[in-house]
Amino acid sequence: MKISRLPNGSPEIFHTLQGEGPTLGSPAVFLRLSLCNLHCHWCDTPYTWNWEKTPWPHQDGTKFSKAEQIIDLSPAQIAPLINNFHCKRLVITGGEPLLQQNDLLPLLQLLPNTPFLEIETNGTQLSSPYSSGPCGLQGRFLYMIFISEPYSSQLRLFQGPLHPVARTQ
């Protein structure tokens, strides 16, 4: 999976409080994935997509080195980093996390003690596999589609369904 890299070189996986949406204030582990398909010039995480030699403008004019901003890790390498925080909520954000949805189910299967999942998405990658949860995942999840308006503090939120936890052993 293509994970955003922190300035110290480690993957952008961290524990904090959820700062937006219906679970505001809840303890959560954040996993920031790289890559995005929209290239919004007001984006607050342009280091996940605005690479050197790409045509996309950004309001701050900064371009980033793709090699310096992305770390490639397998779901098996990512899961222990998330589990080390002993937190029940995982927020997968980006970039656009659903560009990597084929790797999400294997990752989530390695996180049986993380029953609450949130995916922060721009909504352009939702498709039929979501009838039983993101990426075909059976369990409790919340997906949020954030549509931000340029240079505005207004944020519209679409909240997806919550399903009861159902895990098979």
pLDDT tens series, the chain, 169 aa: 999 999 999 999 999 999 988 888 999 999 999 999 988 888 999 999 999 999 999 999 999 999 999 999 999 999 999 999 999 999 999 999 989 988 888 898 899 888 888 888 887 876 544 444 555 555 545 555 554 444 333 334 434 443 333 333 3
Q: What is the pLDDT of residues 102-132, one digit of tens each?
A: 888 889 889 988 888 888 888 787 654 444 4
Token pair of 138, please? Answer: 């059976």
* CA triple 151-48-59, angle to 5 deg: 30
Q: Is the dihedral of CA 168, 111, 100, 157 positive or negative?
A: positive
- Regarding pTM above 0.85, the answer is no
Q: How far apart are CA 150 and CA 91, in angstroms?
A: 24
Q: How far apart are CA 87 and CA 77, in angstroms?
A: 17
Residues 6+ apart with CB under 8 A from 29: 13, 14, 15, 82, 85, 87, 89, 90, 91, 114
Q: How is the chain split into domains, by residue range?
A: 2-159
Q: How far apart are CA 130 and CA 119, in angstroms?
A: 12
Token pair of 90, please? Answer: 């995982």
